[in-house]
Amino acid sequence: MKILKKLIGMALAAGVFISSGAFADTVKIAFIDPLSGPFATTGSNGLAEWKFAVEKLVNEKGGVLGGKKMEVVALDNKMDGKESLVQVQVAIDQGIRFIAQGNSSGIANAITDMVKKHNKRNPDKRVIFINYSAVDPALTNDKCNFWHFRFDANADIKMDAITDVIAGVPSIKKMYLIGQDYSFGKAVAAAAEKYLAQKTSIEIVGNELHPIGKVKDFTPYARKILASGADAVITGNWGADMVNLGKSLSESGYKGPVYCYYCASNGITATFGEAGKGMLHLVGEGLQNPSRPALTAYHKAFKAKYPKWDLSQPRIINAAQMLAAAINKAGTADDMVAVGKALEGMEFYSEILDTKVLMRAKDHQAIQNVHVGIHTNDDIDIDFDNSGYGIKVFKTVEMASMDSPTTCKMKRP
Amino acid sequence: MDLIIINLIDGLIYGLLLFMLSSGLTLIFSMMGVLNLSHAAFYMLGAYFAYQISTITGFWVGLIVAPLIVTVLGAGVERYGLRRVHQYGHVPELIFTFGLFFVIEELVQYVWGRNMVPYNSPESLNFIALNLAGGTIPAYKIFMLLVSVAIFVTLYYVLARTRIGMIIQAALSYPKTVEALGHNVPLVFMGVFGVGTGLAGLAGVIAGPSLTTFPGMAFLLGSIVFVCVVVGGLGSLTGAFVASLLIGWLQTFAASYNIGAGDILLAMGYEYPKDVYYHPWRDLWTLTLPQIGPILPYLLLVLVLVFRPHGLFGKRES
């Protein structure tokens, strides 16, 4: 028995030794997002996209710095602000220099503050924050710092694209704004008011916030929207609030478009099905129909490995490739000032997403093509939720909001 | 005026749905003397079972089979769980159902995942049944209405007019006497628990396509059902019916009219602040009725408990 225990101990020690030896040469990215709890699907989907992008687009093409592999280390933040900061510390303690996070702007705000302070106090252990999804405009405005890089289009850029589309539809004369009662819902409403006033003479017939996640039946809201005579609706709703609002509208006889930020994938596309056809207008980067050979091949390989998930956050493709390119350009994965300087101002062309991406130097906001697409099952090359339905692009704003102003006053190291 | 009529109908449909949940809950309360905190979890199970069945055989089979499965499960919970816990008193029973809620909720997420599932109304009911003032009411909503009314009528008939109903009512109030008369009271209890949870399951089956089948559905509707039961009077079927409709209309009308606190303040003679977003009373000025809508039922609950502790139709001394 004693011998057996000793043997097991030795085997374990050897295992630890071998594994630490094998990973010594990897460049690690800490993926900090919810992997348990109610938001676990969004996080898990993102993790699959990160792992696949790093494997397929970096490691299989020779890695970084002449052969080093990149590796995604998953850390569960349970969608909690405090837990996220603990996980950032865990990553730093493990010697990880790249932090990737995206779900929830609140958490992104906390991480960017922590990273800023940490880098000031520990110049030899600095880290870079890859924000791949959090869209609160403040992150690249008042709260910007050198270490934060955003790869998604922020809420203002997306609204700019939506209102470009709306301005081109003369039949829209009355607009109804509805959103969840919290910071993001308010940011969307404020941006909509601003851009609609700038670009159109559309009358806003309703601007309201409903309690988030507490409305059981959206039918009365739909009735009210109909009674207001609105020709179109803009909403930042997500999750069940998005589906219930959309379904109630279509059941109540609403025929106009609903412009939305988060009305696809994670079960939403499948649940809407026919009811959302022609109604849902999604704004986003990297929308996937019509597809291109490079995208089709990439998507097929992704689905072969992760049949359950979608390419729901395509900017991850850009983030992985641009980070690898920056590391190669800087010639180091340890000096974050050099990597950060290589990444800022970087211009990159993504064959898969067919877009140029510019990491704007003045605020570290990625500028890229932003699309508006429609929920349909006609001409869909790449669907969501394996449902046959997907988002078909009908308008692309090239390098959207390229010259948009920023209040960012970045201090560079 | 047209909007009022359409809101009345919407509120009625929603209220009747609440009744389907609260009727079972109130019957079980009469029987056990404690609230079944896991009631909404059975509602969720009904929706997910029906979804699973509908992917294989279509909606209509699910409509029949899913509530039956939930009924059997509920009866099983009573027979092998609650009955054993019963001897230790009410608090362990309450804790048992409380724990069961989370167990079921987690199990559902384990099996079906944390995304919403595409459970939709059947093709044959995807048409517009009524057209009122530019607003439409889909046939599926009318179907929901008819099912709920049918359940209410059947339940009322069985409890008030049949021999089985007499035995159940007697067993609820005087179990010892009924047992002495030769009736199998534990069987009656098991049956009532099974049918009560089965009704919750049926509510889930018909609400799933309309209110979305997702992991948060039990939590979202669970608390409001308790409000219905307490406001109506614990153990009173009529009370549950009236309270469900009342709360259905309350929530529908509250969400429909954007009356703001600002309007009331203006009417009272206060002046609208110049830059409202920087005003210290900003939250009060911008508050609207739909925003406080979801808490109105709880306000009603508090008021009823203060002024009529037995609820609107309650007879029972607590």
Partners of residue B135 in chain A, C-beta under 8 Å: 223, 226-227, 252-253
Phi, psi of A178 (to 5 degrees): -140, 140
pLDDT tens track for B148-204: 999 889 988 998 899 988 888 888 778 889 989 999 988 988 999 999 999 999 999
Q: Which CATH number fits domain B2-256: 1.10.3470, 3.30.70, 1.10.260, 3.40.50?
A: 1.10.3470
What are the DSSP calls for A109-157, one per residue? HHHHHHHHHHHHH-GGG--EEEESS---GGGGTTT--TTEEE-SPPHHH
**Average predicted confidence (pLDDT) for chain B:** 88
pLDDT band at B107 (very low <50, low <70, confident <90, very high): very high
Chain B's closest residue to A38, CA to CA, is: B114
- Backbone angles phi and psi of A400, in degrees to 5: -60, 135
Mean pLDDT of B298-315: 89
**Is pLDDT larger for residue B258 or for residue A245?**
A245
pLDDT at B215 over 70: yes
Domain ranges in chain B are 2-256
Residue of A209, A216, A267 with shortest CB distance to B116 = A267
Q: What is the pLDDT confidence band of residue A6, given thresholds at 50, 70 and 90?
A: low
Q: Residue B65, SS3? A: helix
What is the predicted pLDDT for the residue at A20?
43
Number of cross-chain residue pairs from A and B with Cβ atoms under 8 Å apart: 120
Residue A288 one-letter amino acid? Q
Percent of chain B surpassing pLDDT 90: 48
**Chain A positions in Cβ-Cβ contact with residue B140 (cut-off 8 Å):** 251
The alpha-carbon gap from B212 to the nearest alpha carbon of chain A, in Å, equals 7
Residue B217 has pLDDT above 60, yes or no: yes
8 Å CB contact of A244 and B211: yes
Residues A318 and A132: beta-carbon distance below 8 Å = no
- Nearest CB to A253; choose among B134, B214, B288: B134
Q: Which domains does chain A have, with CATH numbers?
A: 7-153+295-367 (3.40.50.2300), 156-289+369-397 (3.40.50.2300)
pLDDT the model gives residue B66: 96
HSE, side-chain direction, 13 A CA sphere, residue A293:
0
For the cut 90, the answer to whether the pLDDT of residue B42 exceeds it is yes
Q: Percent of chain B, pLDDT > 70?
A: 96
pLDDT digits (tens, 9 = 90+) for A236-255: 998 888 989 999 998 888 98
Q: How far is CA A397 from the centre of its chain?
A: 18
pLDDT of residue A281: 95
Q: Is the pLDDT of residue A23 over 50?
A: no
Share of chain A above pLDDT 90, in %: 69
pLDDT for A18 beyond 50: no
Q: What is the pLDDT of residue A2?
A: 55
Kindly report, residue by residue over B267-306, the tens digit of the pLDDT: 887 877 766 666 777 777 778 888 888 889 999 999 999 9
ipTM of the complex: 0.86
pLDDT of B220 above 80: yes
Q: What are phi and psi of A203, to 5 degrees?
A: -90, 130
Minimal-distance CA residue of chain A relative to B217? A216
**Residue A179, SS3 per DSSP:** strand
Q: Which residue has the tokens 């692009």?
A: A393
Q: Do A215 and B294 touch (CB under 8 A)?
A: yes
| β A355-359/A366-367 pair status | antiparallel
pLDDT of A22 above 60: no
Lowest mean pLDDT among A127-136, A177-186, A388-397: A177-186
**CB nearest B294 (choices: A214, A251, A267):** A214
